[in-house]
Amino acid sequence: MNALVAETIDRCRSGGMRRTKAMEQLLATLVETDRPMTLAELAESPRLTDQCDKATVFRLLQRLTEKGIVRRLGLHERAAYFALLVPGRHRDYLICTECGSIEAIKAPCPVHELENEIREKTGFRDLYHELEFFGTCPRCAG
């Protein structure tokens, strides 16, 4: 088993979640794909199609989101994406307001220095941030 998957399962168990085969396969899919995925993409992924139905994947995603293991991105249910949250690592995203497509920003994050300054001045621990930029993608604008 991938070390990141094992670490994430440990985080789930520390948060009071029961370890299930469906949860393991869902987390492995998110780690292997390394990009935000829709509910439909996850439910139809090879690891999960034999494991559980779409409703089970949805309920699992809801619980993982509540526990801070998974991040829900997007504008509404139709264009909701889910991404694994990994302590000490984050990604910022561009989201199209027309089609709902999402992509990671491939540029240095401008907020890290501000985050460090806030941490020092306020004493907050485990501080993190999430950035989502919204606009019209080139396909929709064209």
Q: What is the CATH number of the domain that holds 79?
A: 1.10.10.10
Tell me, what CATH number does 100's domain have? 3.30.1490.190
Residue 26 three-state SS: helix
Encode burial over 78-111: b for 16+ CB neighbours within 10 A, e otherwise: ebbbbbbbeeeebbbbbbbeeebebeeeeeeeee
Residues 61 and 116 in one domain: no
Average pLDDT over residues 43-59: 92
Query: pLDDT band for position 78 (50/70/90)?
Result: low
Query: What is the pTM assigned to this prediction?
Result: 0.79
Query: pLDDT band for position 122 (50/70/90)?
Result: very high
Concatenate the DSSP letters of all residues of 75-87 into one string.
SSGGG-EEEE-BT
**Pick from 86-95, 114-123, 131-140: least confident:** 86-95
The fraction of the chain above a pLDDT of 70, given in percent, is 97
Residues 58 and 28 in one domain: yes
The fraction of the chain above a pLDDT of 90, given in percent, is 53
Residues 69 and 108 in one domain: no
Can you give the residue range of the structural domain that contains 39? Answer: 1-87
Residues 28 and 71 in one domain: yes
Higher pLDDT, 107 or 136: 136
Query: pLDDT band for position 30 (50/70/90)?
Result: very high
Residues 74 and 105 in one domain: no
Could you tell me if 5 and 24 are in contact, meaning their C-beta atoms sit under 8 angstroms apart? yes
